[in-house]
Structure 1
Amino acid sequence: MHPNLKELPGSYKLWYTYLKLRRKQVKGKIITDPVYEDVNNTFERSLVFMHKMPRIWLDYCKFLMDQHKITQTRHVFDRSLRALPITQHHRVWPLYLSFVKATNVPETAVRVVPDAEAHEYLLGSIERLDEAGVKLAYIVNKESFVSKHGKSNHQLWNELCELISQNPDKIRSLNVDAIIRGGLRRYTDQLGHLWNSLADYYIRSGLFERARDIYEEAIQTVTTVRDFTQVFDAYAQFEELSLNKRMEEVAENTDPDEEDDIELELRLARLEDLMSRRLLLLNSVLLRQNPHNVLEWHKRVTLYEGKPLDIIRTYTEAVKTVEPKLAVGKLHTLWIEFAKFYEKNDQLDDARLIFDKATLVPYTKVEDLATVWCEWAELELRAGQEDAALRLMARATATPSRPVAYHDEAETVQARVYKSIKLWSLYADLEESFGTFKSCKSVYDRIIDLKIATPQIIINYGLFLEENNYFEEAFKAYEKGIALFKWPYIFDIWNTYLTKFLSRYGGTKLERARDLFEQCLEQCPAQYAKTLYLLYARLEEEHGLARHAMAVYERATGAVLPEEMFEMFNIYIKKAAEIYGIPKTRAIYEKAIECLPEEATREMCLRFAEMETKLGEIDRARAIYAHCSQVCDPRVTATFWAAWKGFEIKHGNEDTMREMLRIKRSVQAQYNTQVNMMSAQMLSGGTTASVETATPTPPQDGMKLLEAKAAEMSFAPAPKGGNILFVKGEVQGGDRETAPLPSHEVNPDEIDIDDDDD
């Protein structure tokens, strides 16, 4: 021993330095050299004093590992764990585990490694799979276990399933079937993988029939398409491999017998049957997801096409399974198609029985039950039983002892179906076709009494009465419908009523017709006014007075939609010209120009000027052009200015042409000035200063000032009272003014142009 250590045996630094020096002395020597044993003894002596120092223990263990003394190294590791406090064990275990892995001594690994997951890893690496499976099963069942490698419990479970399913001959201590089925109950999101693992276990065990049973059980129980696809693909692959394997065996056999051929055919039939069942099996999966999916039940019936017994069984199961309140789709279609299936097979009694049961189902909507009744009646019609169909409709529409509201959700649909307009419409059609006049009329009256009629029902009722020559009854029916509805729903009724009335009576009951039209037009919306006003005007033209017709047209011009006013004025002008002559249309043109928007005003002015030109009133036409020019920006309305120019070329002279050009420049300047002033106003920040007071004015006052100035600069004010105003000449830069018609004119229709001296 070193002299210093004799004096200071408790010094860690001295011992550490001394042991390091001794290890250097043996470096490069063969491990069988006795000097190694001397160094080992030195470590042992140091541990008498340094047994609480983990660095000394680790150096000693590493030194022994280099000497490949397995048993001695293991003993030293064990002594270090016993000597050191537990808080320092984490420094020893990594080296201890690396030593265990390096030694490749299975028993040592089994005895030493304390961690369950590492234990399982070691057992797997040394092919002690049965013991590894047992330990892994213990890990999976331990809820508090936390993997040091970041594996979830689900991943460990998958590893266990893979281990036991792929090694059935080496794992005998575990119940594989029970373990995997426990996983099926526990991990419902991985059913496909677990079922395949269980089937794979039986396949590797040589139990092929048992594997088939597992596959069949799996595809009959999985509830997702993904799991079904996994299981079905594995099942199909298994059958295909089984068939190929058997075919290879038969091919190698030089003398195949009949049993081999039968077995091959059997395996081929199994594969074909599996592939043919795929759509049905997939449909079953979707129905297990939601057994109330009506569309999937219809698809299932389609898949059984050509198999009547399976179709009947499917329909029966469907109508028993689907709950009306949970149904996805229309439940009544199942009942209807079920009955139609019997009808196609000429089993009408069975079809009627299905319909009878269908009428008792508590549907969520009244219309569903009404559809069932209607389909039943149509079945009777197809069978030629018209009386039976009428009786069905009478039974379906019978008023219950306690009438209820149609939209009262608290009542059953059977109690509310008597107010279904769909039922009553079919009932009325059947009565018209196969019943008597009295019975059909009572049906329509009953519909009106129940206040469930639609405008179309009213029109149908009126047409039915008219066909049977009950014209006044038909008009009463129309009036009942008018009393039931409001605008715009009564437009069709009014239109039919008035048309039929005029075609029936013409002008014999003119006052009554006028009263009807006035009643109709009293609250008529603008979008429906045009048709009715034209009908009214035609009545007055054909059977009434011309002035009444003109009054109707005049009312129509103000009652129609703005976009229809231009067309209405054209009709008005045309009729006025036909009845009174063209000169009488001047007042209408003036009113149109006053009322119509700018685009239509320009068109109307052009027509007005053209008319005056044809009449030889050149001055009037020029005044109209001048009036219209105030709303015609030359940059936009080049057509108008071209028309005026053409007019002046034909009918004017140099002065009038110069006047037209001056007006054009003035109008263009007016538009440019307004645009520039508006732009300057917006750029000025919304405030202006008064010239006289220099007081800031708010933006609103500035806008008013701008508008007032634009009004002062305008060439001609807007027309008032329908009179066309005339443009007076001016010198360049002079003021612009307008002169109305003189009030003392003898002929108010005559237009004079004042002379202008520039």
Structure 2
Amino acid sequence: MNCISRYVVDEEDIAFEYELQRTPLSIVTWKRYLEKWESQKRPLSHLVWLYERFCRQFANQEDIWCSYLRWMVHERKFDNLTIYQRFIHILEGFSAGCEELCFLMMEFATSEYQLEMIRHVLDVSLRKLGADSHWKIWEMVFKFLEEKMLPLTEFGDSQDEYQDEQERMEVLIYKSLFGEEEEQDAPDIWSSHILQRYIKIAPNWNLHNSLQKLASTKDHKAVHALYQQYLNHGNELEATLEIPYSLQLNYLKALDYLQQDEKYEALLRQLQTVFPGKSTEFTIMWAKHERKRSRFHHVTEILENAMESTSDLKSFTTIYEFESLVERLYLENLVEELKANPDLQKDAQEKFELSAHLSHLQNLIETHSLRLNDLKIRQNPNSVETWRHRATLFQTFEDKCNVYAKSILTIDPSRVFVPGSLATIWCEYATLYWNAKAFDTAKEIWDRALRVPFPHLKDLETIWISWTEHEIVQNGIKRGLQILETALQVPDAPEEVLEKYKKSAKKMPAQAIVFTSLALWSLYLDLQEASIIDQRDQVERTSSTYETMIHLKVATPMHFIQYAHFLQDHTDDKIKGFQVYERALSFFPKETQYEIWKVYLREATDAIGKLSTESIRDLFDHALETLVPNGIDCRPIFILYSDFEEKNGLSKRSVDILLRGCHSMSRDSNMWEKCVSKAHRLLGGEAARPYYEECLQSIPSPKVIPQALAFAEMETQLGELTRAREILKYGAQLLHPSKNHELWEYWEELELQNGDKESYKTMLKLKRKLENELTVNTELESQKEGNVEFIAASQKKTPLNPEEIDLNI
């Protein structure tokens, strides 16, 4: 009674007490009573007394106890220990059904960063809660770890305090050089212990994730032990694709921090094999590991081996830049320290191997191009251009020879797809010795090159020509001819050899068809012709060479023409040259025949003394009968034929030949112009009228105006003014006056000089009539270059607004 009298102080309190006596299970009454005291700002001890009476009245209702705890937390007047003790006291009254209480207390502990409280709450919760609710309390703990604890170890990484890789490397190299131990990051033991507890009962689907979180705590001993236990049945971890790459990397880092160097190296080598795409990263990681141990010679060895084995440009660049950085920072740190500490200078050379590191850095810089060339050769050992570039990187004769020798041993001829490229290496190799006056060695190299099974004829041509040219310079044309005669020996049955080569789909070496090389035959001919000095025997040999080329069907149209010219220049019988042209015409298609005919006919017309006029006419007729039906433009032949007949005094025939050409190309205005002008010049005005009339009817309207003017001018000169006016009238009606200025200007001048007032007025009336009646095709005019193209008004205009309404107003 005395206890109650301390807290019940007014009549309203007495009323609540009576009401609670009548209805002790009325939660509403209890809450109203508490609210009244809170509004009166009663002392904290009064509120605690009333809350605990309320909670004991409903001892088994968890939500009421939770309200009590929330009130205590919210008040912020209770220390954490008091709240925790009250929580433990409350839980003693519950054998089950206290899930919300545990969650509330864990939420409070994590919000207060009370690590010891979190651990105790976790212990109590796991004992009190059913197994189905354990994952919820673990989830709250993991959330706290991920958001609050693990970031501390990640952000607290000692390496992150440096701004970039270079600064970090500089510090680490300095510490390795001068004996300072590298700072180890402090592990998060609390988080590690929590995670180790969970990993023991973690389901398989969450095991790897939990092990990854464990690595984030930097507790490397725990990582080493638990990774072995749960990933490889208690044995040392081995690289495999079945375990996530990130977990294997964590284990490797743990070995590094625990200084288990042999195991570290063994696992790293395994990882390079299992994850070849990460090989460069592992190389850099291994180099850093050796640098921590101050084994700088191992660092150089690791990086050099990796650089010499990689076939990837990105990996090569990464390793090269890293090694250069290591060597440069090593020297910079060492030099700076020697300046600041003179006592170290006594044995610096021996202790720090200063000269060796300086030489290595210089070698790295000077051999970059060579190392890059090595990489390209590893990528494609059959790249001819890469090998040729490699030879330019060396200066001495011996080094260059070694490059060429290694290249011809390495390159597979069947894998070189650019014809003639592989031969350039052999030729450059031989030329190297040739320029060094080692002629026998150079010849031996060319001879060996000719035995290589090249798939392309171009390679053999290049080698033979190179050898020949060098021999000519040194020993004269005769020696060059001997070499080419050896190359161009024709087999007994050349057709069978060629057929066999074609059926083999170029699997046979190209040596089998060297005798068909156009390049070698052409050079052989040039040398033969250059060596002729009125030697009859040499002329016969050259003619025989041409005949052999024709027989082998390797002669080109130009060879036939050269053969004809050769016979004309070195024999008295020009007919033999013409016979070569006749033979050439049967070898080639009509388009090529046309070019041969032009040369043939031009030379035939110049050799009137050798060929009869009728024979030359037959040649012209035969050429035109062969070419014109095939749609070939024979304008030059018609003109040459016409000029030939003109020289023979047959003016009418000369003009008729051009007319024949006009008929074959009826719409060619240039051909008609030549025809009518020659008719006017050779036959006179009266006889030229039919040609002009046919011309005006054959040429398209816009192009006929110049011929109409020429026709009118001719009639004017003959005094036929009426005919001239009719011709001008005909021409005027073909074009709109605005496009026919030249004709109207000529007509006006004609009337001013030869007409009268009436004829002039008639001309003007016709011009006005035509201006009104003739229309200019604006569409065609607008499409001409430089003109603006307009859109016809009749076309439907696309509205800018697709929802526009067309009002028919």
Is the structural similarity TM-score above 0.5? Answer: yes
Aligned with residue 336 of structure 2, among 217, 223, 248: 248
Please tell me the residue identity of whatever aligns with 1:40. I
8 Å contact 1:335–1:354 — kept in the other structure? yes
Change (3 A) 1:670 1:363: farther
**Cα displacement (A) at 1:467:** 1.5
Letter of the structure 2 residue corresponding to residue 403 of structure 1: V
Counterpart CA distance in 1 for 2:507 and 2:82 is 105
Match of 1:44 among 92, 96, 100: 92
Alpha-carbon deviation of 1:622?
Answer: 0.8
Q: CA deviation at 1:35?
A: 8.5
SS of residue paired to 1:206: coil
Superposition pairs for residues 530-549 of structure 1, below 5 Å?
530-543=635-648, 545-549=650-654
Pick closer, same or farther for the CA change 1:268–1:34 going to 2, 3 Å. closer
Residue equivalent to 1:473: 576
Bigger mean CA deviation after superposition, 442-451 or 320-329: 320-329
Please show how residues 698-713 of structure 1 align to structure 2 within 5 Å. Answer: none
Offset of 1:109 from its aligned partner?
A: 3.5
Q: Which structure has the highest helix share of the two?
A: 2
SS in structure 1 of the partner of residue 647 of structure 2: helix
Distance 1:136-1:472 versus aligned 2 partners, 3 A rule: farther
For 2:138, the equivalent position in structure 1 comes to 93
User: What is the distance in 2 between the residues matched to 1:674 and 1:575?
Assistant: 35
Aligned counterpart for 1:232 among listed residues 278, 296, 320? 320
> Which of the residues 273, 284, 304 maps onto 2:374?
284
Q: Secondary structure at the match of 1:505?
A: coil
Distance change (3 Å), C-alpha of 1:177 and 1:606: same
Tell me what 2:412 maps to: 323
Cα 1:358–1:142 change in 2 (3 A) is closer
Q: 2:483 corresponds to which residue?
A: 392
Instruction: Report the 3-state secondary structure (helix = DSSP H, G, I; strand = E; otherwise coil) of the residue aligned with 1:453.
Output: coil
- Residues in 2 aligned to 1:204 and 1:390: alpha-carbon distance in whole angstroms: 71
Structure-1 separation of matches of 2:512 and 2:70: 103
What's the offset of the Cα at 1:219?
1.5
Identity of aligned residues (%): 25
Cross-structure match for 1:697: none
Which residue of structure 2 lines up, in the alignment, with residue 197 of structure 1?
Answer: 285
Preserved CA contact (<8 Å) 2:715 2:724 = yes
1:558 aligned partner: 663
Paired residue type of 1:55: E
Shift of 1:613: 1.8
Partners of 1:316 and 1:308 in 2: CA distance: 12
Instruction: State how 1:567-586 maps to structure 2 within 5 Å.
Output: 567-586=670-689
SS class of match (2:498): coil
Deviation of residue 443 (structure 1)? 1.3
Amino acid at match of 1:612: E
Structure 1 residues 141-161: Cα deviation after superposition (integer angstroms, max 9, x where no partner): 57566xxxxxxx556666666
Aligned equivalents of 1:499 and 1:32: distance in 2?
Answer: 119
Q: CA contact under 8 A between 1:373 and 1:396: conserved in structure 2? A: yes
Q: Which of 601, 607, 613 does residue 498 from structure 1 map onto?
A: 601
Q: Distance in 1 between matches of 2:276 and 2:112?
A: 54
Q: Which amino acid aligns with 1:108?
A: H
Q: Which residue of 1 aligns with 2:627?
A: 524
CA contact (8 A) 2:728 2:747 kept: yes
Q: 1:293-312, aligned counterparts within 5 Å?
A: 293-304=383-394, 306-312=395-401
The one-letter code matched in structure 2 to 1:420 is S
**Retained in 2: the 8 A contact 1:609–1:621?**
yes
Equivalent residue, structure 2, for 1:426? 523
Does structure 2 conserve the Cα–Cα contact (< 8 Å) formed by 1:533 and 1:552?
Answer: yes
Larger mean CA deviation between 102-111 and 319-328 belongs to 102-111
Secondary structure of 2:381's partner? coil
| Whole-Å separation in 1 of the counterparts to 2:529 and 2:442 | 26
Query: Is this contact kept in 1: 2:240–2:274, CA < 8 A?
Result: no
Q: Quote the Cα distance in structure 1 between the aligned partners of 2:646 and 2:303.
A: 88
Distance 2:83 2:589 in 1: 119
Distance 1:528 1:624 in 2: 31
Higher alpha-carbon deviation: 231-240 or 68-77? 68-77
Residue 274 of structure 1 and its aligned partner are, at CA, apart by: 1.1
Superposed displacement of residue 211, structure 1: 0.6
Encode CA deviations 1:526-548: one digit per residue, 9 max, x unaligned.
Answer: 66422222222222222353332
Q: 2:100 aligns with which of 46, 55, 71?
A: 55
**Could you tell me which of 528, 532, 543 is aligned with 1:441?**
543
How far has the Cα of 1:462 moved from its partner? 0.9
> Structure 2 vs 1, CA of residues 271 and 28 (structure 1 numbering), >3 Å: closer, same or farther?
closer
Q: Which moved more, 1:534-543 or 1:383-392?
A: 383-392
SS of corresponding position for 1:379: helix
After superposition, the CA RMSD in angstroms is 3.9
Query: Which secondary structure does the structure 1 equivalent of 2:413 belong to?
Result: coil
Q: Contact conserved, 1:250 with 1:260, CA < 8 A, in 2?
A: no
Alpha-carbon distance in 1 for matches of 2:434, 2:577: 40
For 2:68, the equivalent position in structure 1 comes to: 21
SS in 2 for 1:524: helix
- Point out the more displaced range, 29-38 or 623-632: 29-38
Q: Could you tell me how far 1:601 is from its partner in structure 2?
A: 0.8
Deviating more after overlay: 31-40 vs 383-392: 31-40
The DSSP-based 3-state class of the residue aligned with 1:398 is coil
Kindly state the Cα deviation for residue 510 of structure 1 after the two structures are TM-superposed. Answer: 0.9
- Residue 112 (structure 1) aligned to one of 197, 209, 215: 197
In 2, Cα distance between the equivalents of 1:486 and 1:434?
Answer: 34
1:249-273: CA deviation from partner (whole Å, max 9, x where unpaired): 4434547569749954443332222
Deviation digits for residues 180-238 of structure 1 (CA, Å, limit 9, x no counterpart):
33333333334433322221221221011111111211211121221111111111111
Deviation at 1:583, TM superposition (A): 3.3
Contact 2:96 2:129 in 1 (8 A): no
Q: Contact between 2:87 and 2:105, CA under 8 Å: does it hold in 1? A: no
Instruction: Report the CA distance shift for 1:234/1:99 in structure 2 as closer, same or farther (over 3 A).
Output: closer
8 Å CA contact 2:646–2:654 kept in 1: the answer is: yes
- Asked if 2 retains the 8 angstrom alpha-carbon contact of 1:31 and 1:67, the reply is no
SS in 1 for 2:739: coil
CA contact (8 A) 1:397 1:417 kept: yes
Please point out which of 555, 571, 581 is paired with 1:453: 555
- TM superposition score normalised by structure 1: 0.77
Distance 2:220 2:462 in 1: 67
Choose the corresponding residue for 2:264, options 176, 179, 183: 176
CA distance in 2, matches of 1:268, 1:673: 86
Q: Distance in 2 between matches of 1:684 and 1:216?
A: 76
Deviates more, 1:280-289 or 1:417-426: 417-426
Please list the CA deviations of residues 620-655 of structure 1 after superposition, one character each: whole Å capped at 9, or x if unmatched: 211111111220212322332232222222222222
Q: Structure 1 residues 208, 324: closer, same or farther in 2, change over 3 A?
A: same
- Identify which of 758, 764, 770 aligns with 1:655: 758
List runs of 5+ in structure 1 lacking aligned partners.
Answer: 146-152, 686-758
Alignment-derived partner of residue 751 in structure 1: none
